[in-house]
Amino acid sequence: MSIHRTHQIDRDTAEQLLRGRPAGSGVPEPLAALLAAASAPAREHELAGEHAALAAFREARLDQMAGERHPSMTRTAVNRLFSLRVAVATFAATATLGGAALAASTGALPTPLSPKAPATRPAPSAPTPSASADGPGSQGASTSPDGRRSGHPSAAPASALVGLCRAWQAQPAANREKALEKPPFAPLVRAAGGEQKVPAYCATVLAGAPSKEPKKAGPSSRPTEGPRSAPSPRRPEIEE
Amino acid sequence: MTALHRAQAGDEEAFRGLYRAVQPGLLRYLRALVGADAEDVASETWLQVARDLGSFRGEDDGFRGWVATIGRHRAMDHLRKQQRRPSAAFTIDDLPELPAGDDTAGSALDRVACDEAIAMIAALPRDQAEAVLLRVVMGLDAETAGQVLGKRAGAVRTAAYRGLRRLATRLEQAGTRGRSPR
C-alpha cells in the first residue's frame, strides 16, 4: 500500500481529547468516536458488584466501631499488637541508653488507635477471614456482568467476542499476533481454540454479527454521534 | 461535606455513590490489565477500599487515583498468582447465547462499541494503554496518573499522546482496508 497519512495530532489537541472536551476539526472522527465509546456512561452490568462492595463497607464500618470500643477485639488490633511487640523490643533496646523519650517523641511507639498509613502501597494482607466466609467478593464477581455468563469466571459473552474480533481486526497485520498475547484478547484465543485459529474464527463471528449501521436509529446509541459532547460528565462527579 | 467525606464518616449511600462513579472506569482499566478477570480484581479492590477508607487523606481526584493504585496492585498480584496456575480448558460450547429479546439492538451495540474501544486501547504498548485509560476512563489528570504508575507527569503525557496517535493511525488503516470505520 502507499504511504498512509499519520495523524499529526498536536499535544494540545491530544490533551483536549484526553480530558473529554469536544475536539476541534483537527481530530479524526474515528478516534473521537473510539474515546467516546471507551468513556461512555456506566452500563448496568458494570455495577453488578455493588452489593458486595456495600457489604464490605458495612463490615469495615462495624469493625472500626468495634475497634473504637474494644481495641483488643479486632483483627487490626491484633496486627498492631504484633507490631507493638516489635516496637517494645526496640523500646527496651533504647531505654537503657535513655532513648525512650526520644523514641516516644519520634512516634516509634504505636498507640492502639493510631491510624494506619494511607494505603497507597499494596496491602500485603490477604482478604479478611469473615469477608471470604460470606464471600462478598466472589459473590460480586460471579453475579456476572450481564447476567448471562456461565459460572466460569473467565467465560466471555458472545457479544464481547464480536467486539474483540473487531478490535483484533483493526490491528495492523504486523501487530496482530502480538495483540493476541494481551490480556483482553485471552477469551478470544480460548474461544477460537488457539491463536492460529483466530482469523478463521473471527471471520465466522463477524459474518453473523449485527452490522454497525443500525446504530444511528437507536435512541440509546451515543458513541458515534459526532464529537464527544455527551451530557454525562466523563470525569465522574463525586461531589454532590 | 463531599460524598467522600460522608462515606468516610460512615454514610452508606455516599459510599454507594462513590462506587457508582468510580467502578465502571476501574473495571475498564482493569480489563486492559487482566482481561476477563477484571470483575474479580475489581471486587478485591473495593474490599481494600472499604477497609482502608478511614485512613485515606485527600479529595475526589486523589480518591480516584488511590482506587486506581489499589486496583493496579491487585491486578499485578493476580497476574503473579495466575502464572502458577494452568488456565482451565474452555470451549466454544461454554459460551452462553447472544443476548436476545430484552437487550435492544442499541444497547447491545453500545456494549460492543465500548468493549471494542477498550480492547483497542489495551492492545497498545502497555505504558501507552495505561496512560490513555487512566486519563480517559478513570478521569485522572496527568499528575495523578503518574502517581498511579510511578512515573513523572511528563512521561505519562507523552505516553498518552503516542497512544492516541497510534490509535488514530490504526483506525485509519482499518478504515482504508475496505471495512467501514463505523
Domain boundaries along the sequence of chain B = 1-85, 104-182
Lookup: cell for A216? 444511528
Please report, rounded to a whole number, the percentage of residues in chain A having pLDDT higher than 70: 46
Query: What's the confidence (pLDDT) of residue B15?
Result: 97
Q: Vertex A33, ends A30 and A35: CA angle to 5°?
A: 110
Query: What is the topology classification, in CATH, of domain B1-85?
Result: Rna Polymerase Sigma Factor; Chain: A (1.10.1740)
Question: Could you tell me which of B75, B78, B91 has the C-alpha nearest to residue B29?
Answer: B75
Chain B residues close to A163, C-beta within 8 Å = 111-116, 119
Query: What's the confidence (pLDDT) of residue B178?
Result: 52
Can you say how many angstroms the Cα of residue A192 is from the centroid of all Cα atoms in its chain? 26
Distances (CA, A) of B76 to A39, A80, B41, B155: 24, 27, 10, 21
CB distance from A121 to chain B under 8 Å? yes
Q: How far apart are CA B110 and CA B97, in angstroms?
A: 18
> How far B152 CA lies from chain A's nearest CA (Å)?
16
Query: What's the confidence (pLDDT) of residue A116?
Result: 47
Q: Output the average pLDDT for chain B.
A: 86
Across the interface, which of A40, A161, A217 has its CB nearest the CB of B114?
A40
Q: What's the one-letter identity of residue A204?
A: T
Most confident of A17-31, A78-92, B67-81, B107-121: B67-81
Contacting A residues, span 58-87, partner chain B, CB-CB under 8 Å: 58-61, 63-64
Substitution target in A5, A57, A161, A215 with the highest count of B β-carbons within 10 Å is A57
| Cross-chain Cβ contact A218/B112 below 8 Å | no
pLDDT band for A233, please (50, 70, 90 cuts): very low
Across the interface, which of B12, B112, B176 has its CB nearest the CB of A162?
B112
Query: What's the confidence (pLDDT) of residue A120?
Result: 44
Query: What's the confidence (pLDDT) of residue A150?
Result: 43
Kindly report, residue by residue over A84-110, the tens digit of the pLDDT. 555 565 555 555 555 445 544 555 444
Across the interface, which of B48, B116, B123 has its CB nearest the CB of A163?
B116
pLDDT band for B107, please (50, 70, 90 cuts): low
| Cross-chain Cβ contact A7/B169 below 8 Å | yes
Q: How far apart are CA B34 and CA A190, in angstroms?
A: 15
ipTM of the complex: 0.84
> How far B176 CA lies from chain A's nearest CA (Å)?
9
- Least confident range from A90-99, B60-69, B94-103, B153-162: namely B94-103
Selected residue with higher pLDDT from B152 and A215: B152
Across the interface, which of A34, A38, A193 has its CB nearest the CB of B171?
A34
Across the interface, which of A6, A39, A183 has its CB nearest the CB of B34?
A183
Average pLDDT over residues B109-114: 78
Average pLDDT over residues B91-110: 50
Q: How far apart are CA A133 and CA A214, in angstroms?
A: 47
Query: What's the confidence (pLDDT) of residue B91?
Result: 40
Kindly report, residue by residue over A187-227, the tens digit of the pLDDT. 888 889 899 999 999 988 888 766 554 444 444 444 444 44
Q: Does position A111 have pLDDT exceeding 80, yes or no?
A: no
Query: What's the confidence (pLDDT) of residue A103?
Result: 47
A39 to chain B: closest CA residue: B137
| Cross-chain Cβ contact A53/B174 below 8 Å | no
Lookup: cell for B150? 510511578
- Least confident range from A127-136, A191-200, B28-37, B43-52: namely A127-136
Query: What's the confidence (pLDDT) of residue B106?
Result: 61
Query: What is the topology classification, in CATH, of domain B104-182?
Result: Arc Repressor Mutant, subunit A (1.10.10)
CA-CA-CA-CA dihedral for B104, B108, B109, B113, to nearest 10? 150
pLDDT band for A77, please (50, 70, 90 cuts): low
Q: Does position A159 have pLDDT exceeding 90, yes or no?
A: no
Q: Does position A126 have pLDDT exceeding 50, yes or no?
A: no
Distances (CA, A) of A140 to A108, A136, B64, B137, B174: 40, 6, 21, 22, 37
Q: How far apart are CA B4 and CA B10, in angstroms?
A: 10
Interface A-B, measured as beta-carbon pairs within 8 A, has a size of: 362
CB distance from A215 to chain B under 8 Å? yes
Chain A residues close to B25, C-beta within 8 Å = 39, 236
Query: What's the confidence (pLDDT) of residue A190?
Result: 87
Please report, rounded to a whole number, the percentage of residues in chain A having pLDDT higher than 90: 13
Q: Is the dihedral of CA A37, A234, A137, A48 positive or negative?
A: negative
Chain A residues close to B3, C-beta within 8 Å = 238-240
3-state SS class at A167: helix
Please report, rounded to a whole number, the percentage of residues in chain B having pLDDT higher than 90: 72
Buried b / exposed e over A41-79, threshold 16 CB at 10 Å, is ebbebbbbbbebbbbbbebbbebeeebeeebeebebbee
Q: Which helix (H) or strand (E) holds B58?
A: none
| Cross-chain Cβ contact A184/B118 below 8 Å | yes
A20 to chain B: closest CA residue: B136
